[in-house]
Amino acid sequence: MDLTMLLKPEAVRALSGVTSKKRLMNELGALVEAAYDVPHSAAVEALLERESLGPTGVGHGVALPHARLDGLEQVVGVLVVLDKPIEFEAVDRQPVDIAFGLFAPLDAGVEHLKALALVSRTLREPSLCAKLRANSDSATLYTIVTAAQAAQAA
C-alpha cells in the first residue's frame, strides 16, 4: 500500500481561516465529498463520533482524524495544511496545522490499520512536515507527501 492508492491530487488542500476542530472536520468532510463523492454530513458525523472517543492529534502539529463509513469500497484519504495551527487536544498538547483524514469502509479491518500506520509513519518525518508547512499549492503538497512516502519505501 502506498499513499497514491489512498490519496487523489484533488483531495489535498491548503486552507486558511480554519479556527476550530469542528470547522476542520467540516472542511475534511467537504474535501472527501468533492474528491470521492462521500456524503459530507455522514463524513463529518463519523469523524466527530470517532473524535469523541479520544483525540486523533498525534503530536508535532499533526492530526489523523479517521472514521469508518457505510458505502465506501476502499480506504481513502484527504490532506489539509492549515495556515494557522488550531487547538486539537493532541497528545503533546500542541496545536495542529496538518491533518490527514482517513475514511474506511465499515468492514475494512486490517486495511484501515495499515493505512493509519502508513500515514503516521509518513507524517512522523519532521523535514516532510516542514516542507508541507512551507507550501500552499495543492499540487505541490500532493507531490511532497507522495514522493516522501515513495522515498521511505525505497
- The predicted-structure confidence for 82-127, as pLDDT tens digits, reads as follows 999 999 988 899 999 999 999 999 988 888 889 999 999 999 999 9
Q: Which domain holds residue 117?
A: 3-153
What is the distance between the alpha carbons of residues 55 and 21, in angstroms, rounded to a whole number?
A: 10
CA distance 75 to 115: 7
> Structural domain tally of the chain?
1
Q: How many CB atoms lie within 10 A of CB 107?
A: 10
Crossing angle (nearest 10°) for helices 138-153 and 126-133: 170
CATH number of the CATH domain containing 58? 3.40.930.10
Query: pLDDT tens-digit profile of 68-81?
Result: 998 899 999 999 99
pTM of the predicted model as reported, rounded to 2 decimal places = 0.94
pLDDT at residue number 149: 58
Instruction: Tell the burial category of 97 from Cβ atoms under 10 Å away from its Cβ (0-12, 13-18, 19+).
Output: buried
- Catalytic residues, by residue number, are 66
SS3 102: strand
What is the structure's pLDDT at 2? Answer: 85
